[in-house]
Chain A
Amino acid sequence: MINVDVFVDAKGLSCPMPIVKAKKAMDAMESGQVMQVESTDKGSVNDFQGWARSNSHEVLKTEEEGGVYRIFVRKG
Chain B
Amino acid sequence: MEAQKQTTMVVFSGDLDKAMASFIIATGAAAMGNRVTMFFTFWGLNILRKEQHVPVQKGFLEKMFERMMPRGPGKLGISKLNMGGMGRTMMKHIMKKKNVASLPELIQLAKELDVEMIACTMSMDVLGIKEEELADGLKFAGVATYLAEAEQSRVNLFI
Q: Using a CB–CB distance below 8 Å, which chain A residues touch chain B?
A: 12-17, 19-20, 22-23, 51, 54-55
Contacts and interface: CB of A to CB of B under 8 A. Distances in A.
A29 B41 CA distance: 38
Nearest to A56: B33
Contact of B24 (A13, A16, A51, A54): A16
30 contacts: A12-B99, A13-B99, A14-B99, A14-B100, A14-B101, A15-B24, A15-B28, A16-B24, A16-B27, A16-B28, A16-B31, A17-B101, A19-B28, A19-B32, A20-B27, A20-B28, A20-B30, A20-B31, A20-B109, A20-B113, A22-B31, A23-B30, A23-B31, A23-B33, A51-B31, A51-B32, A54-B5, A54-B32, A54-B33, A55-B32
Contacts of A12: 99
Interface in B54-80: none
Interface centre among B27, B28, B31, B101 (most CB of A within 10 A): B31
Interface string B35-52: 000000000000000000
A33 B135 CA distance: 39
A16 B5 CA distance: 18
Contacts of B32: 19, 23, 51, 54-55
Nearest to A55: B33
